[in-house]
Amino acid sequence: MSPLVGLIVVEIKRHGKRIYSDKKEIPKPTYWDKLKKLKWLQDNPTKCPKEVVFLQKEILRMKNCFLKSMDKKAKLQKELQTKLNWRSRGACHLRLMHALVENIEKYIKQDSPLSFTQLDACNYIKHADSSD
């Protein structure tokens, strides 16, 4: 994670005003590239104790936020995997649909429709005969 360029510029200007009393010496980072901006911040660290404590707390807050989002992402992926596991939940429905498709004329008799087990047994016997 890296900060946005606009936030880096604001921080450099704010920090530059604290370091330099003369307005001519205050850095003007608007047209600097990102690497130069980050290097300037590294070369001129803040020494104010309040800012140091604030930055440490902000780093911890961002780390916790990042870890929570990663945990949520992992939970969602795990949940999605269990929902997509059709063998555990949808196998009986798929078998019924397969049996219906192959034996639709047997199932749509007006007087005596076949049950699921009968259809499945017919299907099993039919496939066992064709595999020989």
Helix (H) or strand (E) holding 63: helix 49-84
Whether 62 contacts 2, CB under 8 Å: no
Q: What is the reported pLDDT for 123?
A: 62
More confident residue, 89 or 13: 13
Q: What is the reported pLDDT for 58?
A: 86
Structure confidence by residue, pLDDT tens digits, 34-79: 899 889 888 888 888 888 888 889 889 989 999 999 999 888 888 7
Structure confidence by residue, pLDDT tens digits, 103-129: 666 656 655 666 667 766 766 665 555
The Cα-based distances of 81 to 55, 78, 116 in angstroms read 39, 5, 28
Q: What is the reported pLDDT for 50?
A: 86
pLDDT for 13 beyond 80: yes
Q: What is the reported pLDDT for 61?
A: 92
Q: What is the reported pLDDT for 68?
A: 92
pLDDT for 1 beyond 70: no
Q: What is the reported pLDDT for 3?
A: 73
Q: Which residues fall within 8 angstroms of residue 89, CB to CB, at 6 or more apart?
A: none
Q: What is the reported pLDDT for 91?
A: 61
The Cα-based distances of 92 to 4, 82, 88, 132 in angstroms read 52, 16, 9, 26
Whether 102 contacts 126, CB under 8 Å: yes
Whether 39 contacts 12, CB under 8 Å: no
pLDDT for 87 beyond 70: no
Q: In angstroms, rounded to a whole number, what is the distance separating the alpha carbons of residues 2 and 66?
A: 13
Question: Exposed, middle or buried: residue 74 (CB in 10 Å: 0-12, 13-18, 19+)?
Answer: exposed
